[in-house]
Structure 1
Amino acid sequence: MKSGDKMGIFRRLKRNVSSLIRRIFKKNSTRIGIYGPPNAGKTTLANRILMDWTEEEEGFGEVSHIPHETRRAMRRNGIVINANGGVVKLDIVDTPGLATKIDFHDFMKHGLKEEEAKKRAKEATEGVIEAIKWLDDLDGVLLVMDATEDPFTQVNVVVVGNMEARNLPLLIVANKIDLPSASPQRIATAFPQHPMVAISALEGHNMEELYEAIAERFG
């Protein structure tokens, strides 16, 4: 059997199990936010979770190489994950990319006209404020970092510190391990006080390990 056929069978089996659990599982949902800097792969991860555990594939919108494609928080309720004998029912919130500076000139470098770039910068700024406000309504956070980049950035340090100050359970997701320059160990070394799982949300690598960690951390 081809690997693609095996994955198809595996996904259908998980969906059937998830559907059954949704009918009998009565525990209140755990509300989890997906946070991180722009283009770390937050929406790709959110869509991957939906694809693996529901019938949706792009319920959190499209991804883009242009920063701040997601400029409003998007939420999906009642996603049931069954991993390693643990079951957790999640309300997942995909948040805009966090940044300490948003300059409309950066959008113009990606080919946007000045008017559209200014509009996008304004929306992105509002999205960052909204994402921070959502922290008051969450039970835990998946913090997505690009494993190809230096984790010692102002954004990452501020976000981790903010979540620690709020005593929010945190699981770091080192994304993009399918790329040759990825080094998830740098992230683990930078933030050793928090558990970390290395994945490729785009390719689906190590997703089972992530689901097990989510069930253990937030279940």
Structure 2
Amino acid sequence: MNFLVRARQRVSKFLNAFFRRKRSRIGIYGPPNAGKTTLANRIVRDWTGDAVGPVSEIPHETRRARRKEDITITGTNGNSVIIDIVDTPGVTTKIDYNEFLEYGLEKEEAIKRAREATEGVAEAMHWLRDDIDGVIYMLDSTQDPFMQVNIMMIGIIESRKLPVIIVANKIDLPDATPQRIRSAFPQHPVIPISGMEGSNVEQLYEKMTEMFG
């Protein structure tokens, strides 16, 4: 465990012990393979040294919401927020077991995964309706942000009046165009990052302390 992680753990314990502030439950939502679990793992690892779950190139690897509690994030200005991170399954309008066959899975396993992923999406939507205090909405900045599922999800989040940060992920890729995401959703803050490499995550942490505190 590196020095920065140990230092952040000490800060987290200090703040939890002395301030006992209300936790905010923050859901990481977005379409499949946008990088939600990669970001969740980075947040948890940066501030606690732990992780949330495995990542995979196979869509819908996360088929159930996974939560990590009591994470204290501190910005450079000294603001802090205590959150539970909820890593949710990729939200989509249709899950076809043939998607999994393309990755070499047997038909029985593909059908099982498609069923679990469908149930996971329903669970994620239930969380959004009843148990989420704020949202990080993840988008792959190499993809078209105007997909139907994104418009639908942002509309649902807005209807619930939840604070939302839109993350334009994968800026390390040569065809990334985070400005398209800014143009698609100008009403919300958009933070371009590389969840894989960690580029610009400090700006995301700063915005989280502003929005979710």
Task: Report the TM-score, using the length of structure 2 for normalisation.
Answer: 0.96
1:10-159 superposed matches below 5 A: 10-56=4-50, 58=51, 60-83=52-75, 84-135=77-128, 136-159=130-153
* Aligned-partner SS, 2:92: coil
Q: Separation in 2 of the partners of 1:55 and 1:206?
A: 19
Cα distance in 2 for partners of 1:125, 1:42 equals 17
Consecutive unaligned residues in structure 1, runs of 5 or more: 1-6
Pairing partner for 1:167 from 144, 161, 172: 161
Show CA shifts across 1:149-194 (max 9, x none): 1101011111101111111111101111111111111000000011
**2:166 match: secondary structure:** strand
Q: Provide the C-alpha distance between the structure 2 equivalents of 1:61 and 1:97, rounded to a whole number of angstroms.
A: 14
CA RMSD, Structure 1 to Structure 2 (Å): 1.2
1:1-16 matches, within 5 Å, as 8-16=2-10
Give yes or no for the alignment of 1:195 onto 2:202: no
Equivalenced residues, count: 211
Q: Which secondary structure does the structure 2 equivalent of 1:156 belong to? A: helix
Q: Percent identity?
A: 59
1:217 correspondence with 2:211: yes
- Given residue 200 of structure 1, which amino acid in structure 2 is its aligned partner? S
User: Could you list the runs of 5+ residues in structure 2 that have no partner in the other structure?
Assistant: none
The AA in structure 1 aligned to 2:120 is G
Shift of 1:22: 2.1
Q: Distance in 2 between matches of 1:11 and 1:174?
A: 25
Counterpart selection for 2:172 from 178, 185, 193: 178
| SS class of match (1:159) | helix
